[in-house]
Amino acid sequence: MKYVLTYSIFFLTLTFLLFGCMEQDESAFDKQMQEDDEALKDYFATNNIQAERLSSGIYFESLRENPSGSVVEDESIVAIRYRLQTLIGKAIDSLDSEAAPLRFYHAQKHPDALFPRGINIGVSHMRIGEQYRFYIPSYQAFDSYSFGQYLPQYAILVAEIEVENIETKEAIEQEEEQAITNYIEANSLTDVKELPSGIFFQLLEEGTGDQPTTGAFAQVNFKGYYLDDKVFTESEKDQPFTFYVGKADIIPGFEAGVEAMKKGAKARVFIPSHLGFAEGIQVIPTAIRKDFLEEHNIRDWRPYEPVVFELELIDFQ
């Protein structure tokens, strides 16, 4: 429970697990790279496909170009639509035009913000409005991870990607603020205040005494859920979460909520993603998300979504 609220996306952990180590020795990894590349070349020759190879080992075809579109730059928030299948033509997942586009954080040093990571690597060559088809070798996809008959081990994937937009942090913050406001109104919540920290705070029960300051050792019961009321974490019964205020690596919105409370108080705190779990990790196909993250001991925090915490400040010293 100590690290349940850790403000981290685990990029380095995932990179080690899925790309550096991959539970193989170096020679086995080199062999897999060679086998994937040969399979792709055979596929291209058989189907008369002219695809370009990137230094990452990913191949691509340009299906629609847009020279006037903005380039996907490093550390962008990219919104895409996609179709995903295996190299042998088995459809896996898609995102149609009626659904909201998939958002993810694009950064060269953190390709693990999206899996299969080859998509995140590939979009750096695209502009808004363009559509590419990427051929992703297994070591840039899910490597040895499998999901029943849905996704086999060492699957080479084909992804058709359309970059719909490059979004700004400011636009996302405004959108999330509106979503929080809508939730408050829809649930007829009263006396909810926006604090200077950026969180929305509703005091449910008064406490007594002072509020905790930096360095205080706090004991807190909590329940965390999304605006669709799906609970994603909860403190264990009779085992409150403990931390030093201002000295712990926890999400800023949680700490700001605790700092606004007195001993014995209960409150509901609405936290936008920039004060919460930020970009998180995206996984497609969506059907494997929960299993994939559990397999690698990564908490299932949704990217770019506000969260709600119900807090009880039991005590602090």
- pLDDT at site 153: 95
13 pLDDT more than 60: no
Q: State whether residue 133 is helix, strand or coil.
A: strand
- pLDDT at site 6: 55
| pLDDT tens-digit series, residues 249-303 | 899 999 999 999 999 999 999 999 999 998 889 999 999 999 999 999 888 889 9
What is the rounded distance in angstroms from the CA atom of residue 32 to the CA atom of residue 51?
Answer: 20
8 pLDDT more than 50: no
Q: Tell me the domain boundaries of the chain.
A: 11-167, 170-316
Spell out a b/e string for 179-215, using b for 16 or more CB atoms within 10 Å of the CB, else e: ebeebbeeeeeeebeeeebbbbbbbeeebeeebbeee
- In this structure, the number of other CB atoms found within 10 A of the CB of residue 155 comes to 25
Q: What's the rounded mean pLDDT across residues 306-311?
A: 98
Q: pLDDT band for 20, please (50, 70, 90 cuts).
A: very low
Mean per-residue pLDDT over the chain, rounded? 91
Percent of the chain with pLDDT over 90: 81
Q: pLDDT band for 115, please (50, 70, 90 cuts).
A: very high
What is the rounded distance in angstroms from the CA atom of residue 106 to the CA atom of residue 233?
Answer: 27
213 pLDDT more than 70: yes
Percent of the chain with pLDDT over 70: 92
- pLDDT at site 25: 62
- pLDDT at site 15: 46
Nearest alpha-carbon partner for 136 in 163, 154, 151: 154
- pLDDT at site 255: 97
Q: State whether residue 259 is helix, strand or coil.
A: helix
- pLDDT at site 9: 40
What is the rounded distance in angstroms from the CA atom of residue 38 to the CA atom of residue 44?
Answer: 10
**Could you tell me which residue, 182 or 109, shows the higher pLDDT?**
182
Report CA torsion sign: 22, 23, 25, 30. negative
CATH of domain 170-316: 3.10.50.40
- CATH 3.30.230.10 is held by the domain 11-167: no
Q: What's the rounded mean pLDDT across residues 301-307?
A: 93
- On the question of a common fold for 11-167 and 170-316, the answer reads yes
CB 140 within 8 A of CB 117: yes
Which tokens belong to 293?
Answer: 């993250």
- pLDDT at site 10: 41
Q: What's the rounded mean pLDDT across residues 222-234?
A: 96
Q: pLDDT band for 2, please (50, 70, 90 cuts).
A: very low
Residue type, 114: L
226 pLDDT more than 70: yes
Q: How far is CA 263 from the centre of its chain?
A: 34
Report CA torsion sign: 249, 253, 256, 258. negative
Q: What's the rounded mean pLDDT across residues 197-219?
A: 96
